[in-house]
Chain A
């Protein structure tokens, strides 16, 4: 199972919106509505930001939203803030009853 493909880095200015893509196949992202997104600060454990493609856990800012089209899922961060600077990973359930993470995206706030 190959890792899902994410851009290595995305940047934006405070207040702007950015979108991170996560491309898989019909055997993972395209086949199930079980895509999740995680935020990770250096030296810390990841934090769940989005589950089931577009649902936010309690306590996660509504500036974070998720969507999916075909084999590509996306995470959008609106009203970018300095605290959003972190690494972001997508994840998907797969047809092999396993999970796979994305390659990770470093978000930089300019």
Chain B
């Protein structure tokens, strides 16, 4: 069965960077794009970007351009999302989420809480 297992919660200071990992299993890793979506406390879903695990191409939401980097390691079937220059507004649960191949998300990781606080 498809599983997306994310790294644990993080606490960071403003200005720092955070790197969240997402290990995929149960399907052919390179056949499906992976999204990153975040949700601030009490707020809605926010799409951050997408990576093609096959060719490493990425597309980021304009809001995060220059601050986010998504990468993958095919040998470990893991994708990574790094967000830099953190500010308090970046406090959120970050999800990796598998695209089903028709521009929709069919599986989600368990979420990683990133807290930015001085």
Contacts and interface: CB of A to CB of B under 8 A. Distances in A.
Contacts, number: 67
B47 A99 contact: yes
Q: Is the interface of B mostly helix, strand, loop or mixed?
A: strand
A45 interface: yes
A52 B104 contact: yes
B44 A36 contact: no
B70 to A, nearest CB: 13
A30 interface: no
Nearest to B50: A99
A100 interface: yes
A48 B45 contact: no
Interface of B: 35, 37, 44-47, 49-50, 59-63, 95, 100, 102-106, 108-111
